Amino acid sequence: MVNSNDPAYQYDDLISGMWVNNREHGTDMAYYTGSTTGTSRDNEVCSRYTPITWQVDRTCHKVSAKAWDEMCKKMKEEVKDDMTDDTHAHGARAFVTQKMVANNQQTRK
């Protein structure tokens, strides 16, 4: 069993951006255009921060519990953008029909 606080999985600043300190992180990326994925937005009510783009590392990476706790702590302390509501799991937005999908889709090779 892996210790959830193993220093090998510690990253001290998850809130400032993606973990890119070695060749294992950020090498197989998916790029998306669209709105927030939360349930407060839908096909009628879009995010006020549009256009939104986001990236996802397709590779699974272990993160220590300590690193995750530190990120949540920093989210609660954020002054400019209160992120307290994002420190817990919540629903995802329903899928949209194909005709509403951005026209910049690419096939993964």
Q: How far apart are CA 44 and CA 35, in angstroms?
A: 11
C-alpha distances in Å from residue 56, one per residue of 12, 18, 77? 20, 9, 25
pLDDT at position 47, please? 67
pLDDT at position 1, please? 45
pLDDT in tens, the chain (109 residues): 456 678 888 888 888 877 776 677 777 888 877 655 566 766 677 766 666 777 888 888 888 888 888 888 888 888 787 788 877 777 666 666 777 677 777 776 6
Q: How far apart are CA 41 and CA 50, in angstroms?
A: 12
Q: Give the pTM.
A: 0.58
Task: List Cβ neighbours of 29 (8 Å cut-off, separation of 6 or more).
Answer: 55, 56, 57, 58
